[in-house]
Amino acid sequence: MKERKKETVRAHNAQAHAALSVAAVAAAVAAIITASSTSSSASSSMNEMQNKKVAALASAAALVAAQCVEMAEWMGADRHQLSSLVSSAVCVKSSGDLTTLTASAATGTYIFAASSLNVACHSLI
């Protein structure tokens, strides 16, 4: 019984980490899209339709980030940790940084899935 409780807590922590990681990726994508559209629109090389698509994409990424932050907060993540993570993600400038965030999110999601599967297996036994 004690082992099952540990596995449940581990799965919960992995899920919170996954939500935080996906929030960081989404915040970084929204910031990169917004920054690139701002610099591109100054050169007036993008037409109005492209500007609307870029704005919609940035808005969608920001929505995903907000929902993931809300989920992580609901799961007990510290507000300071959330704020720090999103602030760092918004400052991402290079493709390497974004790739690192994405890999971290993918790993967190994998860990959550594995932990959930482990909890489900133990509940069947």
Tens digits of per-residue pLDDT, 7-43? 788 777 778 888 888 888 888 888 888 887 766 555 5
Per this entry, what is the length of the chain? 125
- Tokens in use for 11? 């799965």
Highest mean pLDDT among 10-24, 34-48, 51-65, 91-105: 51-65
**Cα separation, 26 vs 67, whole angstroms:** 10
Domain range annotation of the chain: 2-124
The pLDDT assigned to 53 comes to 87
- Tokens in use for 97? 């940084």
DSSP conformational letter for 75: T
Average pLDDT, stretch 64-86? Answer: 85
Average pLDDT, stretch 62-68? Answer: 89
